[in-house]
Amino acid sequence: MTTFTYPVRVYWEDTDAGGIVYYANYLKFMERARTELLRSFGIHQNQLAKEQGVMFAIVSVNIDYLLPARLDDMLMITCTILSEGRASFAFSQDVYREQVGGDLLTRARTRAACLDCATLRPRRLPDNLLQAIATQEG
């Protein structure tokens, strides 16, 4: 599977009083990377909700904070789909300083469930997403 990379600059709003990225903001950075990965497949979440009645919800996150990011750092967030089930898929996500191969700051594994917008019950992943994933794996 191809690893998707998304750049993020650290701004004042991302940091705590010490100028260090506040721990919860890494989750926001990772959310942006997952969203942009889907966009790179031509899949837009608002369109999925309107046209197919499905949405994604994060059901699990395992994260390790290894080194701090600081104000004005340029970060690279990676996102790789590890596996997909019938109604969920898992991601590996790493945060590097400045470039992939630079200092590894954070490592995470995330699982997203596909839900029916009306009932919030699990629903099969859309075929267009499964096809996009299969294309990337091949």
Q: Which residues pair with 71 in a beta bridge?
A: none
Q: Identify the CA nearest to 120 among candidates 87, 74, 71, 72.
A: 87
Q: How many domains does the chain have?
A: 1
* pLDDT value at residue 1: 65
pTM: 0.89
Q: For residue 75, what are its two tokens?
A: 């970060």
* pLDDT value at residue 130: 85
CATH number, domain at 26?
A: 3.10.129.10
Rounded to whole angstroms, the Cα distance separating 137 from 22 reads 34
Q: Identify the CA nearest to 52 among candidates 133, 127, 130.
A: 127
Distance set, CA 95 to CA 42, 55, 85 (Å): 24, 25, 25
* pLDDT value at residue 73: 95
* pLDDT value at residue 126: 87
Expressed as residue numbers, the domain containing 91 is: 4-137
Cβ within 8 Å of residue 29, ≥6 positions away: 6, 8, 75, 77, 95
Q: For residue 64, what are its two tokens?
A: 């390790």
**Catalytic site includes residue 94:** no
Mean pLDDT per 10-residue section of the chain, whose length is 138 residues? 90 95 97 95 92 95 97 95 88 89 93 96 90 73
Catalytic pick among 16, 64, 73, 127? 16
